[in-house]
A and B are shown apart, each in its own frame.
Chain A
Amino acid sequence: MNIYVLLKRTFDTEEKITISGGKINEDGAEFIINPYDEYAVEEAIQVRDAHGGEVTVITVGGEDAEKQLRTALAMGADKAVLVNIEDDVENGDQFTTSKIISEYLKDKNADLIIGGNVAIDGGSGQVAPRVAELLNIPYVTTITKLEIDGTNVKIVRDVEGDSEVIETTLPLLVTAQQGLNEPRYPSLPGIMKAKKKPLDELELDDLDLEEDDVAAKTKTIEIFLPAQKEAGRILNGDLSDQVKELVQLLHTEAKVV
């Protein structure tokens, strides 16, 4: 089985966000594999171990993303590909990223592509379904269970808390939801091996793409932080009086009940 994982490098969830010069401040920030993409890597490894084949992890980004790709290799992926757009693309959006990924994948005969259902930074959840459409293959988003039998696939998908049982066939793209699996930590031997695994670096040129082909369809004109909340009120007194006061405050002051 020929398996691809779409992996995005993102801010650590512990990071506070600050803005400098109209941009998100990245100085000193820790970066991680997007948590949903960790589930994707884990699932890909499990599918490979059960059905044979190879797992390739692909990222569109800059040089810095090599670290997260190496982590995926250390978890057990076989190969990694970095499409480095640092020098070619000034402004990208989800159209840009999905176009680049699909151009890379179009002649790879992927049986299964796994992405995250959403990136915790950009947060659009667009890239993976867009890639499926551009490759003209079916997709199922927010999956919590994947069973493959030949080319038949049975999936459980989370839909706002309910579960849908879906049947479909390979080739297929799916996106991971929390609960799909328990991602493994890279082992020490895994980390050693990862250093020797292939990590290819490509540029737009190698995909026969020009900057214009991937020009963004949307543009960010401003980034800002939410208004700081004023300090709240901790109630005092007898517990039952506090409860009565709270209900009154919610009713008459905050007017939410």
Chain B
Amino acid sequence: MARKVLVLGEVRDGSLRNVSFEAVAAGKAVSEGGEVVGVLIGESVNTLAQELIQFGADRVVTVENEKVASYTSDGFSQSLLAVLEAEKAEGLILGHTALGKDLAPKLAAKLQAGLVSDATAIEVAGGNVVFTRPIYSGKAFEKKIFTDSFIFATVRPNNIGVLEKDESRTGNVSSISVDVKDLRTVIKEVVRKATEGVDLSEAKVVVAGGRGVKSEDGFEPLKELASVLGGAVGASRGACDAEYCDYSLQIGQTGKVVTPDLYIACGISGAIQHLAGMSNSKVIVAINKDPEANIFKVADYGIVGDLFEVVPMLTEEFKKLKVNA
């Protein structure tokens, strides 16, 4: 059944996040041939509309307002609800990012709707839109359908392929004005701690360190490797507990769940709680000096050795590869 679906384009540092293009692709699947309408909310977001259209949105509605220059759940829910009402849409897709995780449940409660969070695949089967999502932190998966007509999901970064970008695609861009008011939470300050801009949950390559990294300085070679590969640095809880790095880098059952194309585990033993956060990565490399380490059980490729020797050598080899490419 064709339906109109809204997709929120998430803006970060002035550009659209890749997960938003993945959300457009998800919206397309959910629409079953209906219209996919991109939504942009912010102080000045109009210029990004075309890119959403090139990635598959049929048209875009913007809400531009200085009160939504930064994300707050109140400001963004008022804006998005206004668009939903004006468009009478029957579906809504967001990225399962910090913003999507914070905003979507509030909207779902307001709309008295169901919400499938963290979807990794979408298909239409037996007359239903069927969502696949991880449970038990990726130790299992479930397939979910809606028992109500409104379809609402957040999609996990790096799992749903984007539609091919078509620079010749055009579509209407309109704006609606929303009286954003009564913001009950105020952002006073943002302290940037995340390393060099590559977001862990969206990174295509993750280089992760464990207790084997031995110190804060021990993370330096890992950072170099990550930067050569355009990836992000992550960590085990062992490394976080030992204060070699910030908890925000923790990957696992009580940290971030990541599914990059390439995960390089350095000095990580492979505890079940760590595996839960990374074992669905496409390719896993393990570097560990203990040949019996559990991490080798999930690794596609393993090197038994001292990470302080292996990691710098790897960095050099990848540099050569990049030069030759």
Distance from B105 Cβ to chain A, minimum over Cβ atoms (Å): 4
Contact with A along B275-295 (1 / 0, CB 8 A): 010011011111000010000
**C-alpha spacing A161/B193, complex, angstroms:** 6
Distance from A102 Cβ to chain B, minimum over Cβ atoms (Å): 8
Distance from B281 Cβ to chain A, minimum over Cβ atoms (Å): 10
A16-B247 in contact (CB<8A): no
B136-A11 in contact (CB<8A): yes
* A residues in contact with B130, CB < 8 Å: 221
Assuming A98-B109, A162-B193, is B114 touching A221 (CB within 8 A)? Answer: no
Distance from A226 Cβ to chain B, minimum over Cβ atoms (Å): 6
Q: Is B269 an interface residue (CB 8 A)?
A: no
Assuming A123-B135, A251-B321, is B200 touching A161 (CB within 8 A)? Answer: yes
* B residues in contact with A240, CB < 8 Å: 313
**C-alpha spacing A239/B148, complex, angstroms:** 58
**C-alpha spacing A223/B139, complex, angstroms:** 11
Assuming A239-B310, A250-B283, A257-B262, is B272 touching A16 (CB within 8 A)? Answer: yes
Contact with A along B171-192 (1 / 0, CB 8 A): 0000000000000111111111
Assuming A94-B105, A239-B310, A243-B314, is B114 touching A179 (CB within 8 A)? Answer: no
A residues contacting the other copy or chain, number (CB 8 A): 81
Q: Which residue of B lies closest to A129 (CB)?
A: B105
Assuming A95-B108, A133-B109, A243-B314, is B98 touching A159 (CB within 8 A)? Answer: yes
B194-A162 in contact (CB<8A): yes
Q: Is B140 an interface residue (CB 8 A)?
A: yes
Q: Which residue of A lies closest to B231 (CB)?
A: A257
**C-alpha spacing A180/B136, complex, angstroms:** 22
Contact with A along B71-104 (1 / 0, CB 8 A): 0011000000000000000000000011001101
B144-A160 in contact (CB<8A): no
Distance from B230 Cβ to chain A, minimum over Cβ atoms (Å): 9
Q: Which residue of A lies closest to B184 (CB)?
A: A138
Q: Is A132 an interface residue (CB 8 A)?
A: yes
**C-alpha spacing A165/B193, complex, angstroms:** 13
* A residues in contact with B135, CB < 8 Å: 24, 121-123, 223
Q: Is A2 an interface residue (CB 8 A)?
A: no
B residues contacting the other copy or chain, number (CB 8 A): 92
Q: Which residue of B lies closest to A126 (CB)?
A: B105
A250-B188 in contact (CB<8A): no
Chosen A-B contacts, 11 in total, with CB atoms closer than 8 Å, are A13-B254, A17-B136, A123-B134, A126-B108, A129-B106, A133-B106, A138-B184, A217-B146, A250-B285, A256-B282, A256-B283
A120-B147 in contact (CB<8A): no
Q: A128-B105, A163-B190, A221-B144 are in contact. List 10 more A-B contacts (CB 8 A).
A: A16-B139, A125-B117, A129-B102, A138-B184, A165-B187, A168-B186, A217-B113, A233-B301, A234-B291, A257-B262
Distance from B276 Cβ to chain A, minimum over Cβ atoms (Å): 8
A219-B189 in contact (CB<8A): no
